[in-house]
Structure 1
Amino acid sequence: SAGCDVFQGKWVPDSSYPLYPSSGCPFIDPEFDCIKYGRPDRDYLQYSWKPDACDVPRFDGVDLLRRWSGKKVMFVGDSLSLNQWESLGCMIHESSPGSKFAVVR
């Protein structure tokens, strides 16, 4: 078996997406909230990536917190890295409602 090439695949409709409501996430900078500023279409939110030769497990924020407990993560880069950090924070926040958090910049 050659394994799974996660870079070969396609975007497929997925009604279980998005994984979090952007307007309710405390980590997203207000100027990046397309829904808040009236983007009329939302179909682009209803897709997930499906590799051709394998299945990728759905994101599990509680499992990620358990595995990363006590560890540090650093995002280095430009605004795309910031967007990825914000999205990860939103997915974890949605997976663990009621958890205490602090945003420090």
Structure 2
Amino acid sequence: MGNPATIAERHSHYLDIHQAIALGYGTMATIRRRIASGELPRVKIIRDGKRRNVFDPADLDRVLGARPEPVGPAAAEAALDAAVDEVVAKAPRLSAAQLARLGSILDGGAR
């Protein structure tokens, strides 16, 4: 079977279930369901003095789909600006009264 320390070292880049969830690979239920069905292989190791199931990131990508890359604040704002520009380009032209009413709503005024 092998020395537990050696096994843990060989799998040091593997993720435990909590790390996988935090990185966006799914929920606890989804990951456990994929383990139970045999789709998601796991390795049982002792890490930090506790028995843990760990997963190869490549298997997580293959079974659960590659997780999206994190989006920084600047990229998120640029995407939001692009979405607003698209809506504005498709919107009908508003009358002065409609613009005034919309401005009042957006400023927190009466409806």
Which structure has more RCO (C-alpha within 8 Å, separation ≥ 6)? 1
Structure having the higher helix fraction is 2
> Quick check: TM above 0.5?
no
When Rg is computed on C-alpha atoms for both structures, the one with the higher figure is 2
What TM-score does the superposition give when structure 2 sets the normalisation length?
A: 0.20
